[in-house]
Structure 1
Amino acid sequence: MTLPLNHQEFVVDVLVIGAGPGGCAAAFRAADLGKRVALVDRRAELGGVCLNEGCIPSKTLLHTAKTLRSAAAVPGLHVDPRQLNLAALRAHKAEVVAQLTGGLGQLAKARGVAVMEGSARFESNLSAIVDTAQGARRIRFADVVIATGSAPARLPSASFEDPRVMDSTSALELTVIPERLLIVGAGVIGLEMATIYSAFGSEVTLVEAGAQFLPEVDTDVARALRAALSPTLKDVRLDTKVASMRATEAAMEVHFDGADGPAIEAYDRVLVAIGRRPDCRSLQLEKAGLSLDASGYLHVDEHMRTTAANLYAIGDIVEGPMLAHKASHQGVVAAEAIAGQASTFEPASIPSVCYCEPEVAWTGITERKAKAGGRAVDPVVFPWRASGKALAMGTPEGMTKLLFEQDTRRLVGAAIVGSGAGELIAEAVLAIEMGALDVDLCSAIHPHPTLSETLGQAASMATRTITDLVLGRTAARGLARLA
């Protein structure tokens, strides 16, 4: 039943603060379980950062970028990114977002979830004030789910008052394609933005303070990704920091602190993509009896319950990867726990995907973390240059890496570099969740010719039954020569 939002105070069973993927999942599941639910967000549209400013807009643009690259690779076909109609592309992006936000609105309405636009702040652990355009309203609740997400991390040397300095949100507005673009950060966001802007005609320089792309993945995975991406970039500078920026009339003058390349370069625009931080602005958590840990997160148990019995937290504001699918699952768990069900969030693995071109996806434990934790694993790598489908697609630079626990032979980790890696990683996620062994993966008949075949072929390397390669002494590292 829809709540009387014209009143200054009303009572609900569950208040959900934040209408991103996690918040919507929590609100909808709680409503399905018979709870009266209010869903509050700063935006007029549901979907949070992911739908309005992140995942969906970026994937819409990435699809166009990848289509351009694929077309340009066709012999005899000329593709000129300067002919790209930015206005039409922006309109298409907006249409996709509007369709999805509208769908969420209908789902909320059908469930009787009361949606309120405004900024929430706790008054106690049983009430909150929502500041709306029509004035402040008090919501009394039995339980609350905090799902306020994250915000882009800021670079101290960058002044975002200058429109030539962008974060991921402003970059996705696609107001202009700069001739010279500097991207600070070689994480997921930085690499995806590099794919978009380089395909659309920018000369992209990528600078990273660390020693490799994507610090979350193993060195061999990062190395394969860099080799595949480098031809599309003007320059890549690792182990390099931005010391300062100076705005001139002609350009942004950037001073670097690093061993490689010139110390000063000029760019038309700078995109800062150094990660995200938990966003608990204006919540006044202390009034609800909550406090953040040293990393800025709220501590939760397996039911997503905080240190206060009736307060739950999910998504980017709790420890773990900042991913929409993590938040959605946690939202369902929180709602079911509130309803008294024995629901817990204890996944065997959480997949991550960088939708650059080529894509890279990973899940479970990495080889580096296994060694650091004293866990014995056998890694195998199947090179896509031995995949008929990859060769036919013109993407032989990919790789499929699997990690099997030495004593049990269970799959415990996977990483894939190549076209469609984000889709392919799902098989590894399910295999890890189900406790699959190396023999299970290689015995499962994969269709030929497909890229999914590479997971079965990698598993066959682990069981030493592979026929597509000749295994040598270094087979445990997945290094093999073509037969």
Structure 2
Amino acid sequence: MVGLWTAATRSTPLLRGRLFSTIKPQVAAYDLVVIGSGPSATQCALESAKQGKRVAIVDKKTRLGGVCVHTGTIPSKTFREAVLHLSGYRHHGFYGKSYSMKTVTIEDILYRVQRVVSSEEDVVRAQLKAARVDVVPGFARFENEHEISIIRDDDDQKKKKNGSTTAGSSTLDSLSRIKADKFLIACGTRPAHNPLIPIDGKVVIDSDQILSRDMHQLPRSLIVLGAGVIGMEYASMVNVVPGHTVTVVDGRPDILSFCDREIISNLTYEMQSNGARFLLGETVKKVETTDKRVKVFFNSGKVLSADALLYTVGRQAATDGLNLEAVGLSRNHRGLININKNYQTDQPHIYAAGDCIGAPALASTSMEQGRLASCHMWNPNEELAATSQLENGNYPYGIYTIPEISMVGQTEQQLTKDCVNYEIGIAKYSELAKGQMMGAMAGGTLKILFDPDTLKVFGVHAIGEGATEIIHIGQVAMAMGCSLTYFRDAVFNYPTLAEAYRVAALNGLGRLSRNTEEH
């Protein structure tokens, strides 16, 4: 791509791209333009900047970090920590269910959420600034295969007139077109809506609205429609708040069907012990609302009434408006973009990563997808060693329910379906000194699936406090090809939850020994 730095560019140090014209419309050129500012977007931008490329991020939001920082991962997990602390849930095993730090209010929760979100956004902004990545506010729209236009809404224009900008440069704020050699689409997703569900942001809300400032209090009775990851996380969080009841509804017969069934049984038992109710195989006929209540009518004839309904059935990729048709790219019914193993779309110079390409739609895997996309952009012939870990599923999956769940590798269902012989080793938190110290949150389990002949580890599954932390021991061991004997012979700090690996290994080897004796 041809272009020269101009005096206007040199006088505006924040603009790294090449400015084609100093008269409007302003057009700049970059090596890479990233659409979005979430985990995959920022990682791709930072990795490309490290390789000396001129990079710009275009985001319609005035706040950086994407869904992960503002409405998804960070707020929901901060909500969880706030609820656990304020409700005193972690101490119920010692002091009883009536124990709590204080009355849980939405103000206390939002205070903590907003503090953490603000800090995370500052981190993202500082990283991009240090890497000399330009941030261009506005909505990206493809005009042709190598050029996008920047669309700004009325609010952006008002801020611009008032001198309030977010990118730190009037030149960036006035850009109307950008040319680039390569693009990464990482625009994320938003909650999917159903015409049967009249979402009003008050008594019928989606997962983006539950932590909005429009919420004046936590609903004392909540219907969660959708027993997926998001629905189960929020349901379990509200479920531990004293005086609050939750009913989880889903049209499917199983909850989190991709998880180990024994682990899910433990989760539902724990939630039911706190008063949660599950209605599975139920479909909605209609929903009626008043100012303060919602009533749900099901096709089975059941009727539920509650203070609020949280709708969490599915996500929709935020790819509409990008004008993908102009560059020959299509989307499926959920707006998802098709890619190959290198994260290239049907246009080889246009990549896509993160939630907008579909499963697993995790912040952790999105970061790696963004990094790998960058590696392929600038070194297409170089072997991507980390690709195998994403392709073979050797990455951890964390579900931040209460209690939390984590897994890596295969489940019993998968091994049975594939006709693979396996044995299990189990450790209960109650067997660990650390587990005893933790009281109510000690009802956890670590489960190792392994080959009874070679002792190869097929998968590790955990539920309980710290499950999303200790799962990484299993992840690394599997990646290094360690067998079950590694856990048996390893020395772990004492007292820790990590000891569960040794206890589970000994349990599994004991099962093998007994089976041998019986035969």
Provide TM-score, normalisation by structure 2. Answer: 0.84
The equivalent residue for 1:351 is 396
Q: Is the 8 A contact 1:404 1:410 kept in 2?
A: yes
2:186 aligned residue (147, 153, 167)? 147
- Matched residues, number: 469
1:164-221 CA distances to partner (integer Å, 9 max, x unpaired)?
A: 1111111122531122111112222112212332333421111122223212112212
Q: Which residue is equivalent to 2:289?
A: 247
Deviation at 1:343, TM superposition (A): 5.1
Matched, 1:57 2:102: no
Matches within 5 A, 1:326-405: 326-340=365-379, 342=382, 344=384, 345-347=387-389, 348=392, 349-394=394-439, 395-405=441-451
Amino acid of the structure 1 residue aligned with 2:238: Y
User: Is 1:20 aligned with 2:38?
Assistant: yes
Q: 1:203 aligns with which of 234, 245, 259?
A: 245
Q: What is aligned with 1:305?
A: 344
Does the 8 Å contact 2:445/2:464 carry over to 1?
yes
The residue type paired with residue 2 of structure 1 is L
Checking the alignment, whether the CA contact within 8 Å between 2:355 and 2:361 is kept in structure 1 is yes
Contact kept, 8 Å, 1:333 with 1:343, in 2: the verdict is no
Contact 2:203 2:292 in 1 (8 A): no
Change (3 A) 1:104 1:431: same
Equivalent position amino acid for 1:17 in 2? I
Q: Where does 1:220-299 land on structure 2 (aligned, <5 Å)?
A: 220-249=262-291, 251-258=293-300, 263-293=302-332, 296-299=335-338
Distance 1:131 1:72, change over 3 A: same
Q: SS state of the match for residue 209, structure 2?
A: helix
**Is residue 87 of structure 1 aligned with residue 107 of structure 2?**
yes
Contact 2:339–2:351, Cα closer than 8 Å, also in 1: yes
- Looking at structure 1, the residues matched to 430 and 99 of structure 2 have their Cα atoms a distance apart, in angstroms, of 26
Give me the whole-angstrom Cα distance separating, in 1, the residues matched to 2:94 and 2:194. Answer: 40
Q: Partner of 1:59: helix, strand, or coil?
A: helix
**Measured at CA, do residues 293 and 371 of structure 1 come closer, stay the same or move farther in structure 2, by a change above 3 Å?**
farther
How far the C-alpha of 1:241 sits from its partner, in A, is 2.5
Structure 1 residues 116 and 272, CA, compared in 2 at 3 Å: closer, same or farther? Answer: same
Q: How far does residue 163 in structure 1 lie from its aligned partner after superposition?
A: 1.8
Contact 1:65 1:195 (8 Å CA) reproduced: no
Gaps of 5+ in 1: 477-483
After TM superposition, the structure 1 stretch with the greater mean CA deviation from structure 2, 62-71 or 233-242, is 233-242
Q: 1:270, CA displacement in angstroms?
A: 0.3
Identity, in percent, stands at: 28
Q: 1:443 aligns with which of 486, 489, 505?
A: 489
* 1:294–1:93 CA distance, 2 compared to 1 (3 A): closer
Secondary structure of the corresponding residue to residue 14 of structure 1? strand
Offset, 1:115: 0.3
Structure 1 letter corresponding to 2:134: A
Preserved CA contact (<8 Å) 2:38 2:69:
yes
Does the 8 A contact of 1:381 with 1:402 survive in 2? Answer: yes
Please say if residues 122 and 128 of structure 1, whose CA atoms lie closer than 8 Å, have aligned partners that are also in contact.
Answer: yes
Distance 1:295 1:108 in 2: 30
Does residue 1:177 correspond to 2:223, yes or no?
no
State the alpha-carbon separation in 2 of the partners of residues 194 and 102 from structure 1.
30
Which residue in the other structure is 1:323 paired with? Answer: 362
Of residues 239-248 and 355-364 in structure 1, the stretch that sits farther from structure 2 once superposed is 239-248
Counterpart AA for 1:215:
S
CA distance in 1, matches of 2:220, 2:46: 45
State whether residues 316 and 334 of structure 2, in contact with CA within 8 Å, keep that contact through their aligned partners in structure 1: no
User: In structure 2, how many angstroms separate the alpha carbons of the residues matched to 1:81 and 1:389?
Assistant: 23
1:103 equivalent to 2:123? Answer yes
The TM-score with structure 1 as length reference comes to 0.90
Shift in CA distance, 280/405, structure 1 to aligned 2, threshold 3 Å: farther
Letter of the 1:328 partner, please give it: M
Query: Which residue does 2:499 correspond to in 1?
Result: 453
How far apart, CA to CA, are the structure 2 residues paired with 1:25 and 1:46?
A: 13
Residue aligned with 2:180, SS: strand
Q: For 1:336 and 1:250, how far apart are their aligned partners in 2?
A: 52
Task: State the 1:249 CA deviation.
Answer: 4.8
Pairwise CA RMSD: 2.6
Which has the higher mean CA deviation after the structures are superposed, 181-190 or 25-34? 181-190
Q: CA deviation at 1:407?
A: 5.3
CA contact (8 A) 1:212 1:222 kept: no
* Contact persistence 1:189–1:275 (CA under 8 A): no
Partner secondary structure for residue 392 of structure 1: helix
Give the distance between the partners of 1:322 and 1:11, measured in 2 at CA: 31
- Between 19-28 and 434-443, report the one with greater CA deviation: 434-443
Which has the higher mean CA deviation after the structures are superposed, 318-327 or 154-163? Answer: 154-163
**8 Å Cα contact 1:62-1:195 kept in structure 2:** no
- In the TM superposition, residue 457 of structure 1 has moved relative to its aligned partner by 1.9
Q: CA deviation at 1:250?
A: 5.0
Whether the aligned pair in 1 keeps the contact of 2:315 and 2:334 (CA below 8 Å) is no
The answer to whether the 8 Å contact 1:81/1:199 transfers is no
Structure 1 residues 293 and 378: alpha-carbon distance in aligned structure 2, compared to 1, 3 A threshold? farther
Q: Structure 1 residues 149 and 108 mapped into 2: Cα distance closer, same or farther (>3 Å)?
A: same
1:192 aligns with 2:233: yes
Measured after TM superposition, the shift of residue 35 of structure 1 is 0.4
Q: 2:170 aligns to what?
A: none
Provide the rounded CA distance (Å) in 2 between the counterparts of 1:80 and 1:182: 24
Contact 1:302 1:346 in 2 (8 A): no
What amino acid does structure 2 have at the position aligned with 1:100? E
